[in-house]
A and B are shown apart, each in its own frame.
Chain A
């Protein structure tokens, strides 16, 4: 589905609460191009369609970039510091690391000291603390990103209301900086096209430019931040540019979307998927400010 909607990079998320056990180790494997191609005629069709519509010329189709991500929901500051204060064998097995603070103290801590890439919130419920600009801006300054998961807006009425209330609070407190938008989808049909999502978040107070950045560049920055975090202070790593930068121009990748087949996914509880990166869509839009990236996933 992600492919069909035009995304060229997806992150599959595994959520753990409180403690990390051995079973939380990363078991996700990216699907091979062949598997993807075998996933069904719909996918193949989507790929062709995408290539036909979005790409002119005969550049070889690229692979869908797939990233694994761990989200840890934390309530106790001490435990959070222990787990996320430095390198940890289990967190190291994932590409991206996100923390979901469940209390004011962890929120503060996440913004100022924890070694993570993304701070995420449960958009479907009322947040148990107030989002204050101070810590959020400190987080943005440290290069962390704040995540808005739009799938809450697609579920029932209460979660939609909470989504809009939390999202506008977050946008307001962070002044639109450092926000990324992802699906948080539990199923493929909770994904939406990039333009749709951008429009949705502009209703929460982001400008169109910020909304676009939230779907494209900032997600790339998250990936880069993760690479740097993994490299540790001072160590020299060769960062593979194509992983991030490459998506910019011709970004369809050929991977189909049945990504999580039953096998890897079944083992994970509450798998959330989140699309990370976007690809510019080449259909001309009338409003120049609306050129977008899209993200999607399935």
Chain B
């Protein structure tokens, strides 16, 4: 029996208006991604992708997101992500940062990317707290 293999896509959401919406959570991303897969690949494509697809992590501050999907379907998932242009009436672009075979490798890439971003952001105190929390959550993510 061959092990079921996944792909982990780490991507960055680039918002046109640059606003930080702290109410966004993983489930929202999952919903918009699901709609896009349905639009582009139909019911069959969606069904196949959904078998293993899951949004593992999203951080509204740094806009990083990790999505897991089956290795056989990652092209479809990635293509659906590419074609997303709006999200909650805001223009957005999803930019793939890392495409890894394990969550650990994505996590490493995410931590590195996070650091680079946060270094140059000016944060309010509340945001600072959020950032720390997000960082911790990322570090603590089970692999």
Taking a contact as CB atoms under 8 Å apart, the answer to whether B85 and A195 are in contact is no
User: Contact flags (1/0) for B1-31 with A, using CB distance below 8 Å?
Assistant: 0000000000000101010000000000000
A-B contacts counted at CB < 8 A amount to 69
A42 to B17, CA, bound (A): 11
User: Contact flags (1/0) for B93-135 with A, using CB distance below 8 Å?
Assistant: 1111111110001000100110011011100000000000000
Report, as a range, how many residues of chain B touch the other chain: 20 to 34
- Report A226 CB to chain B, min CB distance, Å: 29
Taking a contact as CB atoms under 8 Å apart, the answer to whether B116 and A283 are in contact is no
Q: Is B61 an interface residue (CB 8 A)?
A: no
Taking a contact as CB atoms under 8 Å apart, the answer to whether A154 and B83 are in contact is yes
Q: Using a Cβ–Cβ cut-off of 8 Å, how many residues does chain A contribute to the interface with B?
A: 29
Q: Is B55 an interface residue (CB 8 A)?
A: no
Instruction: Specify the main secondary structure of chain B where it touches its partner.
Output: mixed
Chain A residues numbered 269-290 whose CB sits less than 8 Å from any CB in chain B: 283, 285-287, 290
**Of the residues B92, B109, B117, contact of A49 by C-beta under 8 Å:** B117
Residues on B with C-beta less than 8 A from A286 are 99-101, 105
Taking a contact as CB atoms under 8 Å apart, the answer to whether B93 and A285 are in contact is no
Residues on B with C-beta less than 8 A from A193 are 95-96
Residues on B with C-beta less than 8 A from A203 are 75-76, 79
Taking a contact as CB atoms under 8 Å apart, the answer to whether A53 and B113 are in contact is yes
Residues on B with C-beta less than 8 A from A129 are none
**Of the residues A48, A49, A160, A191, contact of B83 by C-beta under 8 Å:** A160
What residues of chain B have their CB less than 8 Å away from a CB belonging to chain A?
Answer: 14, 16, 18, 39-40, 75-76, 78-79, 81-83, 85, 91-101, 105, 109, 112-113, 116-117, 119-121
What residues of chain A have their CB less than 8 Å away from a CB belonging to chain B?
Answer: 1, 4-5, 42, 45, 48-49, 52-53, 153-154, 157, 160, 189, 191-193, 195-197, 199-200, 202-203, 283, 285-287, 290
Which 3 A-B residue pairings sit nearest by Cβ, starting from the closest? Answer: A193-B95, A196-B82, A52-B116
